[in-house]
Structures are given as C-alpha cells and as structure tokens.
C-alpha cells in the first residue's frame, strides 16, 4: 500500500503541472505577447504617412475656406488688376479642391477636412484690414499683403506635402501636388504685379493733387 502511494507521488512530481494549469500558463503568455505587440511603436514610415494624411486634411479645409473668402476680397478691392488676380485665384482654388480629392484617392484615403487654424487666422487678418481701411488704394494694398501671406502659406504647405509624398513613394500624389504648387507660385507672381500697379496708381493720384 505504501509502495503504491509512493509511486503516485513520484508520478505527480514527474508530470509537473496539470494539463489545465499548463493551458492557463500558455494563454497568459499569449495574452502578454499580444499586449506587447499593441504597445509596439509605429515605424518612421507609418509616422510620416500619418503626418502626410493629417496635413492633407488641413490644407483641404484651408482651400475650401479660401473659396468662401476670396469673393469678399474681390468685392472690397478697387484695382482692376487686383480684382482680376483674385478672381483668377478663386477659379484656380476651386480646381485645387477637386485635385486634393484626387490626391486623397491616390493614397487610398477618404477626402476629409480638418480645421486649419493657420488659414483661419490669415483670413481673419484680411477681413480686419478690409474693415479698418477705406475702399481704395490703401485697402487694395492691405488685401494684397493678406493674400500674399496666404499664398506663401500654401506654397510652403504644398512644397512640404510633395516632399512627403515623394518619400512615401506616392508618385501620383507628387504630380498632383506639384501642379498645385506651380499654380500657387504663379498666383503669388500675379499678386506682386498687382501690388506694383497699385503702388503706381497711388503715386499718380498723389502727383495729380
């Protein structure tokens, strides 16, 4: 009898934990491994893509806001050259909104807007200038200044987005973004020309007095 009890005890020691206990241990290890996988840091490429997508949403909101703001600028302008430049920029901006939607599609993302605080601030600055000046050359100069600040922001943004897209290997997006970048640079040139014309107009008016 004692021999049987010893054999049973020896068997328990040799087999170790029961199958149920082993199963629980394995499950616990699997769960721990899963948690570790969730906590893994994203790669640099993943981080850049997230930044790229976020920036796309930002400029998408900015362009749509600009479509609403430009008509008011044109209405408050006096110089024919400036009015023409603003209206031309409006038509181009509407196309750029559509082009951004193509960029979203090319990278497999749904077009979505995220409020752009920078553009909101620039538009508000332009509105303040129009409210604080009388209609004429001085207001025109203020509108040009506000518009060029907007252009420079867009140029910087599209240049950065094109560089990001190139790094991520999104060739279709690069082509679309570079096309918009070229348009923004052209718009900036037109505004500069309008600025010189406005200054000349103002100087001629002063000479006549």
Q: List all residues 6 or more positions away from 72 whose beta carbon is below 8 Å from its beta carbon.
A: 127, 130
Q: Contact at 8 Å (CB) between 81 and 192?
A: no
Helix (H, G, I), strand (E, B) or coil at 169: coil
Token digits of residue 155: 């140029």
Token digits of residue 121: 């601030």
Between residues 22 and 144, which one has the greater pLDDT?
A: 144
Lowest-confidence region among 6-20, 52-66, 91-105: 6-20
Mean pLDDT of 27-42: 54
**How much is the pLDDT for 66?**
98
In the structure, what pLDDT confidence band is assigned to residue 158 with cuts at 50, 70 and 90?
A: very high
Helix (H, G, I), strand (E, B) or coil at 168: coil
Is the pLDDT score of 28 beyond 70? no
pTM of this structure: 0.75
Q: Per-residue pLDDT tens for 54-86?
A: 999 999 999 999 999 999 999 999 988 889 999
Mean pLDDT of 105-122: 97
Between residues 15 and 161, which one has the greater pLDDT?
A: 161
Is the CATH number 3.40.30.10 carried by domain 47-201?
no
Q: Contact at 8 Å (CB) between 65 and 116?
A: yes
Helices and strands: H and E segment counts in the chain = 7, 0
Mean pLDDT of 31-43: 56
């Amino acid at each position: 009898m004692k021999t049987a009890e010893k054999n049973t005890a020896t068997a328990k020691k040799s087999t170790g934990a029961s199958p149920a206990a082993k199963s629980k241990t394995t499950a616990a290890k699997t769960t721990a491994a899963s948690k570790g996988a969730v906590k893994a840091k994203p790669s640099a490429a993943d981080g850049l893509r997230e930044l790229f997508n976020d920036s796309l949403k930002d400029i998408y909101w900015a362009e749509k806001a600009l479509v609403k703001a430009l008509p008011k600028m044109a209405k408050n302008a006096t110089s024919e050259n400036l009015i023409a430049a603003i209206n031309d920029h409006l038509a181009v901006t509407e196309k750029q909104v559509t082009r951004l939607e193509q960029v979203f599609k090319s990278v497999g993302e749904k077009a979505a807007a995220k409020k752009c605080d920078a553009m909101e601030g620039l538009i508000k600055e332009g509105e303040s200038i129009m409210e604080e000046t009388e209609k004429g050359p001085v207001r025109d100069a203020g509108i040009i200044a506000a518009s060029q600040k907007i252009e420079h922001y867009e140029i910087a943004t599209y240049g950065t987005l094109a560089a990001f897209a190139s790094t991520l290997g999104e060739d279709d997006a690069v082509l679309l973004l570079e096309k918009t970048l070229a348009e923004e640079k052209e718009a900036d040139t037109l505004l500069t020309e309008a600025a010189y014309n406005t200054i000349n107009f103002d100087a001629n008016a002063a000479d006549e007095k």
